[in-house]
Structure 1
């Protein structure tokens, strides 16, 4: 691949030499030897903890990331107001088999799904109907009236891409309760979205149909889903007690956090990079998505460390409320459109802090071809796949404004051990893999701000 070579000294305030191979090597060397990504993630997880939108943890994370970016000397750091939903779990979630002929009373590992209206302390009891999908539920029709629907569709184990398997099973979690309510069900249980059998329940967002009752929706671990299915096959009149205390309160004011280094030649052309600052209210939000946020901040920090002045403006964006509303991404795109801003690219890291293997993208054929032309520059770092289609949830609202939307693609096999669970903690993140992701993102931002797209 042809390289443009210019003999420029890499001094503060001086434009970057376009010797791409040597500058990308410099990025990787600096990040892998003395990067800040891992220690910043430790602080976010251990000192602040989980950060559900509207919570005190989310507010603390906003203020800390603002101060962090200011401490690095970015040209501009600001808060972008956004009203976010405020859901609270409110108490212990319970799913208990009450009448098993074999085991008697059996409590299952459970978590209420996000945005769920709880039962309150009195709970509810009902017989259980098992289905494997939304179409199977619809076939049963009125047979589920007055019962608790148990969605037990597993993630497809034959899908090598774990996110593809997740997408195939996600509907039962996101709209299962709404569809069951239409048919008169009184509650819903969903098999956790994990590609392994374990005893850890996974929460996640679900949404109601406003024209039907808001029935309680809880997830149980894959191990307990297997148990419940077996017991139902042996005893169809099995009954379950559900108790949850979730409540949707009034929207609260929160913020996207934005740090910027202004471009020296084409400042009007913007490259956004980052992740979502909110997490679920269990675990520490390490992989989802503390990792992506700290990687995004690290991109700009490395520029400041090197004294590099980008040709185009680069922004680190910490979007708020990806998990249960996507308000931050929508507000960011809305304001960009109102201001007439020109984003040429947006990069999101929201697939965990695992070993990076490539970048996915959505854009024009020409934009994607340009991205793929840089593959030889990434292959020495084992980032080999720049052909996959994709992007990210928070950058999706920017799509109609024309930028290339890019997602960092780590190895996905372990992600759904941790996704939306109490196990998503700092200790689950490998330092070197996290830093390799930060270096890959910085290298891509470097190419984008130097060459455009």
Structure 2
């Protein structure tokens, strides 16, 4: 009799599981149908890029984006839309930068862009001989005698062996964000950094550089990969006369200014004080329109809530879309969100960040995921996501804005949206980051994939 009851129990569980899978499958189909037929994120992205444009943290355009984003969320009838105050970084680029390779009497103009947070050169520009290095460690090997009074040229390229290009970005990135501070310790007067991309083009890629609080601040600029190759070849082939580099930039760091995170939410029907969030950053660099970085992310995030509303779904937990401010320049919006979540005693179950472009979705990465968790989530959900080719559920990063929640909300699951990565760093932080380089269908598929994952988390939790 006991054996029969066990078989009956197993059969009941099997039937219940199959029924839940069928319900989930139908809901995911409904989500994708809504987005692919009635999606609005592409038209919203067009407005953000073309009517507002670049949104450098602390700028007038960033405030315009805040005001418009709040109205957009309100137009969708979310249960609550509000702003979170945050004091954010205010760095300004100033006049367009000038860069030249100087070979005796010959001057060769090259494409450069000041790195975010950099100080200016002297008003008349800065000219000095150049020393090429490929790592921060090489500075120590060369020492002050070789570096003092020179412009350090960091020329480490992307490692092409990485299939996931974010890994190549990660291994090359220290020369950009730490190179100026490191070179200054050895007496360098300036830094130019090879743009962080595998593409060989004439677009300089900006991005943040950091200085030590008590260290010397020297000007730092990115140089296009074409110009970097040209300079490197000239240094290699012609030792005398000494090759020099000249650059001029008038950027400056101003006092922090008041800005805002923009938040919209659908209240949970069972657990209104438990939160699942999806977000990206509203600010962007100022060289273009911030389309892929991160206009696609914020427009996908608000689209997730619009999709759920449009399908008539009533979530158990409160679902939020968060547009973070200041991710590019200091991450102060993400830090403020976490601070307020802790102060308001908000229990966050999961947070998804979309900040890798609006390309074809591949899946999601989970921070600090154990083998047991990955086995469980793949067993339960990969089959549901497979028809939509978003079923790559792996361990990995979440995102810089949501990572602040980890310290204040232990137990939260941080998740990164992972689209195809092959084209992102051709566009990232460049004048090429414009609306025309976003594909409508890829953008919509990404929004639907995140809405699907949020539905699954809301229905079933993450206890694998």
- Which aligned pairs between 1:10-409 and structure 2 lie closer than 5 A? 19-100=23-104, 104-142=106-144, 143-236=146-239, 237-363=242-368, 365=370, 368-372=374-378, 373-400=380-407, 401=409, 402-409=411-418
Find the aligned partners of 2:310 and 2:439 in 1 and give their Cα distance. 24
Are 1:367 and 1:404, in contact at CA under 8 Å, matched by a contact in 2?
no
Find the aligned partners of 1:18 and 1:290 in 2 and give their Cα distance. 34
Find the aligned partners of 1:27 and 1:62 in 2 and give their Cα distance. 27
TM-score by length of 2: 0.93
Are 2:34 and 2:311, in contact at CA under 8 Å, matched by a contact in 1?
no
* Cα pair distance change 1:348/1:418, threshold 3 Å: same
Are 1:363 and 1:403, in contact at CA under 8 Å, matched by a contact in 2?
no
Deviations 1:127-179 (A, max 9, x none): 00000111112211111000000000001011111000000100000000000
Are 1:264 and 1:309, in contact at CA under 8 Å, matched by a contact in 2?
yes
In the TM superposition, what is the alpha-carbon distance from 1:345 to its structure 2 partner?
0.1
Are 2:360 and 2:420, in contact at CA under 8 Å, matched by a contact in 1?
yes
Comparing 389-398 with 73-82, greater Cα deviation is found at 389-398
Query: Secondary structure at 1:309's aligned position in 2?
Result: coil
Find the aligned partners of 1:53 and 1:4 in 2 and give their Cα distance. 49
In the TM superposition, what is the alpha-carbon distance from 1:388 to its structure 2 partner?
3.2
Q: Which one of the candidate residues 412, 433, 451 is aligned to 1:442?
A: 451
Are 1:3 and 1:20, in contact at CA under 8 Å, matched by a contact in 2?
no
Are 1:3 and 1:19, in contact at CA under 8 Å, matched by a contact in 2?
no
TM-score by length of 1: 0.95
How many residue pairs match? The answer is 441
In the TM superposition, what is the alpha-carbon distance from 1:370 to its structure 2 partner?
4.6
Find the aligned partners of 2:36 and 2:348 in 1 and give their Cα distance. 29
* Cα pair distance change 1:155/1:100, threshold 3 Å: farther
In the TM superposition, what is the alpha-carbon distance from 1:369 to its structure 2 partner?
4.7
Find the aligned partners of 2:369 and 2:225 in 1 and give their Cα distance. 40
Find the aligned partners of 1:3 and 1:157 in 2 and give their Cα distance. 44
Find the aligned partners of 1:389 and 1:115 in 2 and give their Cα distance. 28
Query: What stretches of structure 1 move > 6 A for 4+ residues in a row?
Result: none
Find the aligned partners of 1:429 and 1:364 in 2 and give their Cα distance. 31
Find the aligned partners of 1:369 and 1:398 in 2 and give their Cα distance. 25
In the TM superposition, what is the alpha-carbon distance from 1:316 to its structure 2 partner?
0.2
In the TM superposition, what is the alpha-carbon distance from 1:384 to its structure 2 partner?
2.7
Find the aligned partners of 2:225 and 2:44 in 1 and give their Cα distance. 33
Deviations 1:74-125 (A, max 9, x none): 0000000000010000111112112257xx1101110000001011431111
Structure 2 unpaired stretches of 5+: 1-13
Find the aligned partners of 1:239 and 1:3 in 2 and give their Cα distance. 70
Structure 1 unpaired stretches of 5+: 7-16
Query: Secondary structure at 2:130's aligned position in 1?
Result: strand
Find the aligned partners of 2:294 and 2:17 in 1 and give their Cα distance. 35
Query: Secondary structure at 1:198's aligned position in 2?
Result: coil
In the TM superposition, what is the alpha-carbon distance from 1:325 to its structure 2 partner?
0.1
